[in-house]
Amino acid sequence: MEESWTLLRDKVFGNGGYPPELEKIGRYIGHQCQGLPLAVVAIGGLLSKMSKETSSWENVAEKVGSLMTSDTMDCLNILSLSYNHLPQYLKTCFLYMGVFAETREIPVWKLIKLWIAEGFVKRVNHKNLEDVAEENLRELVDRSLVLVGKHTSLGKIKTCKMHDLVRDMCLREVQYENFIHFKTRYDYDDLLENISCLRRVADFHKYTHSGLSKLMPLTRSVFFKYPYFFCYLSQSSFRLLRILDVCFTCFFSCSQSVSELVHLRYIACPSFNGLVQSLCKLRNIQNLVIHDSHPFGSSMRTQSLPWEVVNMPQLKHIHTKKLSLFISPPTSVLISERENHLQTLTGLMPSSCNDEVFLRIPNLKKLGILIVDESDTIQKCYCLDNLVHLTQLEKLKVEVSESYLLIFMRISEGWVDIPHCDNFPPNLKKLTLCRTHLQWEDMNILSKLPNLEVLKLKHHAFHGLIWKLSHEDEDGFLKLKFYS
């Protein structure tokens, strides 16, 4: 099949030439894929990472030929061949993607944080773990085991997904290696003998059983969607738990149990109310994530975090969406002077955008400011003036909650004054403004930011019909690569 050979050749060699001695064996491999493009691309991804010697290709051809049975199973078997040739560090990263729901694209930021929390990503040379994790993902994409969903404005992978058949193969390997247990509604009686050795458990069913309360001492990761998990967390012994990702869950009766999860590195839930004192005892936490949804509706728009939580020794990332964070000041000099490693902080309310907070988070690289309450308008004159203290900041998003847009549109000059360009962080590369209702004249200030590469204006970020740079500002935006 000429099409199969062409697809295989392009996947392995791109637009470049290829050794002529590989054409015959390459055509044979393409033919053995029986016209299934996904199988051809997967094998092409495998061959692209192997030596371009005839013996290596003959070995692959022999294995492909032995796997052919019938239709869908053919493709799954060929995909398994591609999986089996992965180095071990990529196998674990790939299998872990099976924990995400089939119908949704996977946010790369979350995937990377989970890989790191699990210990799958090892430092290489002087690269940080996030960069190494991105390289691992790119390698899975190059091997056609993972598809790119969306790109960021600068071309990085923002979301990813799996082809249905690749996911089927992934789940088959997951089950074979007992890598993740997907709990069903009725499987506890059969699992009680073996459940104590399960390392990762995912439960997306509405009804659950209290059987987990007795076992699972070796479990490292738990993903639960419905509100029954913590009913028996207080009775169980998840002493080695590293990842806890739960939705629609009430913590109020189990804070003492949470404080005992000393190995926890990643926790995601709808709210930390009732958990604050327990969180302060978790010395290994790297990521705090507050989900969009909450079982009691949308009335809980603000989450208060004491400085003791923000300044936990290993904490690097605090993620929220549609929820505003208030950070209370340190309660002691000792806590205040401890070195802070926070790199990501989203959903910060303007009343917390002050010197007292910013001077204590000097390593921050990504900041999101969110207005969700009328009382925050009192901070409109100076909440951005203190950004100058964040010398490492590269990404900034300022957003007015959609529910308050009409309130702020009544303020003709907008809810916040854009400070002088010298008051912006010197390394700022990306700026997003959403529903801020600013004057177009403020754009002249933004044009002078020396390292700005991405500027995104969304939903009434500015008001007025005309934007015109002044004569002296016509040479602005020297490094801008993306504008929308």
Dump pLDDT digits (tens) for 384-421.
888 999 999 999 999 887 766 555 555 555 567 788 88
Q: Which amino acid is at 411?
A: I
E strand spans, 293-394: 302-306, 317-319, 324-328, 344-348, 366-371
pLDDT at site 438: 84
* CB 44, CB 12: distance < 8 Å: yes
* CB 153, CB 159: distance < 8 Å: no
Least confident stretch, 114-123, 170-179, 356-365, 471-480: 471-480
Query: 247 in a domain, yes or no?
Result: no
Please indicate, yes or no, whether residues 328 and 469 belong to a single structural domain of this protein. yes
Domain span at residue 470? 301-483
Q: Which residues contact 323 (CB under 8 A, 6 or more apart)?
A: 290, 292, 300, 301, 302, 303, 347, 370, 372
pLDDT at site 299: 47
Name the DSSP letter for residue 286. Answer: -
Query: 375 in a domain, yes or no?
Result: yes
The chain-wide mean pLDDT, for the chain, equals 78
Please tell me the distance from the alpha carbon of residue 451 to that of residue 342, in angstroms, as a whole number. 22
Query: 218 in a domain, yes or no?
Result: no
Mean pLDDT within 295-306: 63
pLDDT at site 379: 46
Residue with tokens 């104590």: 196
Please indicate, yes or no, whether residues 416 and 476 belong to a single structural domain of this protein. yes
Query: 410 in a domain, yes or no?
Result: yes
Q: Which residues contact 362 (CB under 8 A, 6 or more apart)?
A: 340, 389, 390, 391, 392
Please indicate, yes or no, whether residues 388 and 444 belong to a single structural domain of this protein. yes
Which pLDDT band holds residue 472 (cuts at 50, 70, 90)?
low
Q: Which residues of 426-454 are buried (b: 16+ CB within 10 A; e: fewer)?
A: eebbbbbbbbbbbbeebbbbbbbbeebbb
Please indicate, yes or no, whether residues 116 and 54 belong to a single structural domain of this protein. no
Provide the token pair at 284: 């290994």
Of 101, 134, 169, the domain-final residue: 169
Q: Is the pLDDT of residue 443 over 60?
A: yes
Strands 317-319 and 287-290: parallel
Please indicate, yes or no, whether residues 432 and 340 belong to a single structural domain of this protein. yes
Q: Is the pLDDT of residue 106 over 90?
A: yes
CA distances from 449 to 57, 397, 419, 469, 475 (A): 53, 15, 11, 14, 12
Q: Which amino acid is at 380?
A: K
Which pLDDT band holds residue 278 (cuts at 50, 70, 90)?
confident
Please indicate, yes or no, whether residues 340 and 406 belong to a single structural domain of this protein. yes
Which pLDDT band holds residue 370 (cuts at 50, 70, 90)?
confident
Please tell me the distance from the alpha carbon of residue 201 to that of residue 206, in angstroms, as a whole number. 15
Please indicate, yes or no, whether residues 10 and 147 belong to a single structural domain of this protein. no
Please indicate, yes or no, whether residues 128 and 55 belong to a single structural domain of this protein. no
Please indicate, yes or no, whether residues 358 and 433 belong to a single structural domain of this protein. yes
Q: How much of the chain, in percent, has pLDDT values that exceed 70? A: 75
Name the DSSP letter for residue 21. Answer: G
Please indicate, yes or no, whether residues 92 and 66 belong to a single structural domain of this protein. no
Please indicate, yes or no, whether residues 59 and 106 belong to a single structural domain of this protein. no
Burial class (CB in 10 A: 0-12, 13-18, 19+), 261: buried
Q: Render pLDDT for 127-164 as a digit per residue (tens, 0 to 9).
A: 899 999 999 999 999 888 899 999 999 899 999 999 88
Please tell me the distance from the alpha carbon of residue 478 to that of residue 467, in angstroms, as a whole number. 18
CA atoms within 13 A on the CB side of 253: 11
Please indicate, yes or no, whether residues 25 and 141 belong to a single structural domain of this protein. no
- Which of 361, 350, 357, 358 minimizes the C-alpha distance to 325? 350
Of 149, 169, 189, the domain-final residue: 169
Provide the token pair at 232: 């028996």
Query: 261 in a domain, yes or no?
Result: no
Of 20, 40, 70, the domain-final residue: 70
Quote the number of domains for the chain: 3
Q: How much of the chain, in percent, has pLDDT values that exceed 90? A: 25
Query: 100 in a domain, yes or no?
Result: yes
CATH number of the domain enclosing 389: 3.80.10
CATH number of the domain enclosing 148: 1.10.10.10
Least confident stretch, 101-105, 314-318, 469-473: 469-473
Which pLDDT band holds residue 252 (cuts at 50, 70, 90)?
very low
Query: 64 in a domain, yes or no?
Result: yes
* CB 115, CB 139: distance < 8 Å: no
H-run or E-run covering 354: none
Looking at the DSSP bridge assignments, the partners of residue 328 are 306
Query: 47 in a domain, yes or no?
Result: yes
pLDDT at site 154: 86
Please tell me the distance from the alpha carbon of residue 182 to that of residue 118, in angstroms, as a whole number. 18
